Amino acid sequence: MAGFHYKLQSVLDIKQKLESQEKIAFSLAAGKLQEEQEKLQNLMIQKASYDRQARKLVEGKIDILEINTCRRAVETMKTRIRTQMLEVHKAEKQLEEVRLRLKEVMIERKTYEKLREKKFEEFKQQLLYEENKEVDELVSYTYHREER
Residue 95 confidence (pLDDT): 97
Residue 73 resides in a domain: yes
Is 36 domain-assigned?
yes
Is 92 a member of any domain?
yes
Domain-located, residue 24: yes
| pLDDT for position 91 | 97
Residue 10: inside a domain? no
Give which of 36, 35, 32 is closest to 88, Cα–Cα: 36
Query: If 0-12 CB within 10 Å is exposed, 13-18 middle and 19+ buried, where does residue 145 land?
Result: exposed
What's the average pLDDT block by block, 10 residues per block, for the chain (148 residues)?
A: 85 96 97 97 96 84 85 95 98 97 97 96 94 87 72
Distance separating alpha carbons of residues 32 and 42, to the nearest angstrom:
15
The DSSP annotation for the chain comes to: -PPP--TTHHHHHHHHHHHHHHHHHHHHHHHHHHHHHHHHHHHHHHHHHHHHHHHHHHHSS--HHHHHHHHHHHHHHHHHHHHHHHHHHHHHHHHHHHHHHHHHHHHHHHHHHHHHHHHHHHHHHHHHHHHHHHHHHHHHHHHHHHH-
**Cα–Cα dist 138/113, whole Å:** 37
CA–CA dist 141, 51 (Å, integer): 99
pLDDT of residue 1: 52
Domain assignment present for residue 70? The answer is: yes
Give the list of residues 6+ apart from residue 71 with CB closer than 8 angstroms, or none: 54
**How many domains does the chain contain in total?**
1
Q: What's the pLDDT at 55?
A: 86
* Domain with 107 in it: 17-111
